Amino acid sequence: MWQPPERIKHALPLAAWPTAEAAATARLFQPIALGPRTARTRTWIPAMVPWRATEDGFVTQDVIDWYCRFAEGKPGVLVVEATGIRDIPSGPLLRIGADRFAPGLAKLTAAVRAASGGETLLFIQLIDFLSIRRRPERAKFFARFLTITERHRAGLFALRGHGDASGLSDDDVRRELANLPDADLAGILSPRELDDLRYGARERVTDDAPHLRELPQVLPGLFADAAQRAMTAGFDGVELHFAHAYTMASFLSALNTRTDGYGGPREHRVRLPLEVVAAVRSRVGDRGVLGCRYLGDDVVEGGNRVDDAAWFGVELARAGLDFLSISKGGKFEDAKQPKVGWSAYPYTGPSGYECMPTIYSDERGPFARNTNLAGTIRAAVHAAGLTTPVVAAGGISTFAQAEAVLVGGEADLVASARQSLADPDWFRKMREGRGDQIRRCEFTNYCEALDQQHKQVTCKLWDREALDAPDVTLAADGKRRLVAPPDPSTR
Ligand SMILES: Cc1cc2nc3c(=O)[nH]c(=O)nc-3n(C[C@H](O)[C@H](O)[C@H](O)COP(=O)(O)O)c2cc1C
Ligand code: SF4
């Protein structure tokens, strides 16, 4: 993962945990209405992909165990990982793009409800993403993937400085291009072709292809169908994934230059998200909570900044969303070049760092690093006369940090992903005045590296513990447990 050049190693902030009495009156543990439901506390576990679904995207016992373990800590809200809304193969990522996925998801909601004693609202994050290929071998790219055009012939001719390349067959052109040094290729291939060679081909919402042109016609229905299935499966709500590197965030982004009324100025970029919200709401009604996660800052060059995000926040709140969950970065545009045979991963560049900051940071450090974005958006929403709850995330792992975000008015709920992975019981321990027993996340991103390699996600602080204890399920590598050990005080 990219790290800020300063590479200052930050110590974990001192944590003064509350007594049970202090926790009882703390803002963090007060209820809050989210549309038709009420979260019992303002604690939130945001979506985290654990790589535990079947190859066909179905819920497994490991998926159920993963979410039940979080539910035992009784967060106010628990969001199930990004779940694909299309009926297309996507490896072991959870799917909800057809009715056959609903029974497994219903089993999941029932198990989580039992594990939290009904104290946790369970949402599911609905995602659409475009296709991405692995970085090809150079020879294969020229032999199979590159479409040869006259521009390539002209480029070769210009490079030779003499002769006529027009008589070259496509195969000759492929061979000659494949033998050129990179510096010469840069003058012949288009920027997009170079990108496909260096990173693997990746679709953009701005591409001129029928299935991409049709996205605005297709996506509202796909999201609405998926949301309906989520309601049938017993979820308390859905979170529309409008963040990071995926389709809907790409529509919102200032990099979206579509000319069909769905790109360009902000009013056009927000059009499809608003149409998705309307379609989903018409199906969900007040049976469930409907919110979205989107970016307070794209971080990448030419992308959205917080003023765009604040403007979108007001539009999305006006559209009747029940919450706005704010993330940051996580884009393909600045991702590192993957190894041959691997896909680009949108959390490897500076924008990825901002999404999941580590202790190797700049002067600001990783802790509560992004709450200012949520604060700016919340202020804009309030200035527009709305009170839609805003969720902040990013390096929040102590009571004081969470409480300060709430008391300072930056957000209405506080999301913690990695700290909750490190210790799924941490909210409950805080409430019970047992903060000194909390296993504290070290923010070095071992878990995120597993995600990058599409391996089952675990935490380094507990995944080698008591591997031979009864009922322990091991990861595919046989070396790690898949869920955190039980909290001794509750067994
Ligand atoms: C393993 C892993 C998987 C993640 N998967 C998702 C996801 O499916 N959807 C999403 O919006 N964010 C995802 N995130 C980002 C987190 O929800 C969160 O925004 C980020 O980790 C920063 O919060 P934290 O500092 O509390 O960890 C993931 C993070 C991790 C570590
Ligand atoms: S693996 Fe590291 S960063 Fe991830 S949750 Fe555990 S301690 Fe935190």
Which string of DSSP letters, residue by residue, matches 71-140? HHT--SEEEEEEEE-SSS--SSS-B-SSGGGHHHHHHHHHHHHHHTTT-SEEEEEEE----BPPPPPHHH
Backbone φ, ψ for residue 138 (5° rounding): -55, -50
The residues with which 124 forms a beta bridge, in sequence order, are: 80, 238
- CA-CA distance, 136 to 197, in Å (whole number)? 7
Of the candidates 284, 244, 248, 288, the residue with the CA atom closest to the CA atom of residue 269? 248
Of 1, 418, 421, 461, best ligand 1 pocket probe by most atoms within 8 Å of the beta carbon: 418
Q: What is the pLDDT along the chain (491 residues), one digit of tens a residue?
A: 899 999 999 999 999 999 999 999 999 999 999 999 999 999 999 999 999 999 999 999 999 999 999 999 999 999 999 999 999 998 889 999 999 999 999 999 999 999 999 999 999 999 999 999 999 999 999 999 999 998 999 898 888 777 776 778 899 999 999 999 989 999 999 999 999 999 999 999 999 999 999 999 999 999 999 999 999 999 999 999 999 999 999 999 999 999 999 999 999 999 999 999 999 999 999 999 999 999 999 999 999 999 999 999 999 999 999 999 999 999 999 999 999 999 999 999 999 999 999 999 999 999 999 999 999 999 999 999 999 999 999 999 999 999 999 999 999 999 999 999 999 999 999 999 999 999 999 999 999 999 999 999 999 999 999 999 998 999 999 999 999 999 988 75
Instruction: Write down the pTM of the prediction.
Output: 0.97
Convert 353-393 into a string of H (helix), E (strand) and C (coil).
HHHCCCCEECCCCCCCCCHHHHHHHHHHHHHCCCCCCEEEC
3-state secondary structure of 325: strand
Ligand 1 centre distance from Cα of residue 430 (Å): 22
> Contact at 8 Å (CB) between 419 and 429?
no
3-state secondary structure of 449: helix
Ligand 1 centre distance from Cα of residue 451 (Å): 10
pLDDT for 341 equals 96
Of 96, 129, 356, 442, best ligand 1 pocket probe by most atoms within 8 Å of the beta carbon: 356
Check if 358 has its Cβ closer than 6 Å to any atom of ligand 2: no
> Contact at 8 Å (CB) between 396 and 390?
no
Check if 444 has its Cβ closer than 6 Å to any atom of ligand 2: yes
Ligand 1 centre distance from Cα of residue 237 (Å): 19
- CA-CA distance, 240 to 184, in Å (whole number)? 44
Check if 414 has its Cβ closer than 6 Å to any atom of ligand 1: no
pLDDT digits (tens, 9 = 90+) for 453-489: 999 999 999 999 999 999 899 999 999 999 999 998 8
Check if 421 has its Cβ closer than 6 Å to any atom of ligand 2: yes
Ligand 2 centre distance from Cα of residue 92 (Å): 22
Tokens describing residue 10:
């930050």
Ligand number, closest to the Cα atom of 447 = 2
Check if 48 has its Cβ closer than 6 Å to any atom of ligand 1: yes
Which residue CA neighbors atom 9 of ligand 1 most closely?
47
pLDDT for 121 equals 98
> Contact at 8 Å (CB) between 57 and 80?
no
Other residues' Cβ atoms within 10 Å of the Cβ of residue 112 = 25
Report, in this order, helix, strand and coil percent for the chain, each rounded to 5: 40, 10, 50
Ligand 1 centre distance from Cα of residue 298 (Å): 15
- CA-CA distance, 51 to 452, in Å (whole number)? 10
Which residue CA neighbors atom 20 of ligand 1 most closely?
356
Check if 327 has its Cβ closer than 6 Å to any atom of ligand 1: yes
> Contact at 8 Å (CB) between 235 and 288?
yes
CATH architecture of 8-132+218-490: Alpha-Beta Barrel (3.20)
The structural domains of the chain, with segments of one domain joined by +, span 8-132+218-490, 138-199
> Contact at 8 Å (CB) between 127 and 246?
yes
Check if 447 has its Cβ closer than 6 Å to any atom of ligand 2: yes
pLDDT for 491 equals 59
Of 12, 43, 48, best ligand 1 pocket probe by most atoms within 8 Å of the beta carbon: 48
Which residue CA neighbors atom 6 of ligand 2 most closely?
459
Q: Which atom of ligand 1 is least distant from the CA of 82?
A: 8
Ligand 2 centre distance from Cα of residue 109 (Å): 26
CA distances from 229 to 85, 217, 226, 237 (A): 10, 20, 5, 11
Q: Which atom of ligand 1 is least distant from the CA of 447?
A: 1
Ligand 1 centre distance from Cα of residue 339 (Å): 23
Ligand 2 centre distance from Cα of residue 70 (Å): 15
